[in-house]
Amino acid sequence: MKPTTLVSSVLALAAAANATILVDPVAPTLYAGDEQEVVWTMDQKYTVEVDFVQQTSYGWKTIKQLLDRQKEPTGRYRFDWTVPRRYAGNGKKYAFWVSGSQGSGGYANLTNWFEISDGCGKREGSAKLFLA
């Protein structure tokens, strides 16, 4: 093996080991009917999924997949979601799970936990993805 090939291989492995998806925190209380931004930054090209999850005694479970296998390059992204009223006022904790896959590897991150309070809303459960 040539020294340059070895160095290239080591650098590629180091870059893969440091790949990240950083997710911005959300407010500790969201209000039903409000638009919520989920913002994240990726330093690798990933196929992205965004899930709305509920905290459980064993960790968390997916309530709804909001974005399914969207291929995106590196960059900063914003996902707008209208907070559904049906989860308001039940005392449960929720979060957003942002995961990215890349071949056999990938990376994922979870927002902080939040509650949903009843509020004045317009639409329910709609979502849009933007390059932030």
* Any domain includes 32: yes
pLDDT tens, position by position, 30-76: 999 888 888 888 888 888 888 999 999 999 999 999 888 777 767 78
Query: Residue 75's CB: how many other CB atoms inside 10 A?
Result: 12
Return the CATH number at 86.
Answer: 2.60.40.1930
What separation in angstroms does the CA of 74 have from each of 19, 34, 46, 94, 110?
11, 28, 8, 27, 18
Domain with 117, as residue range(s), is: 19-131
Tell which wins on pLDDT, 11 or 87. Answer: 87
As for how many domains the chain has, the answer is 1
Asked, for residue 81, whether it belongs to a domain, the answer is: yes
Q: Residue 107 falls within a domain, yes or no?
A: yes
Is 9 domain-assigned?
A: no
For residue 12, name the pLDDT band (cuts at 50, 70, 90): very low
Domain annotation covers residue 13? no
Global confidence as pTM: 0.73
122/103: higher pLDDT: 103
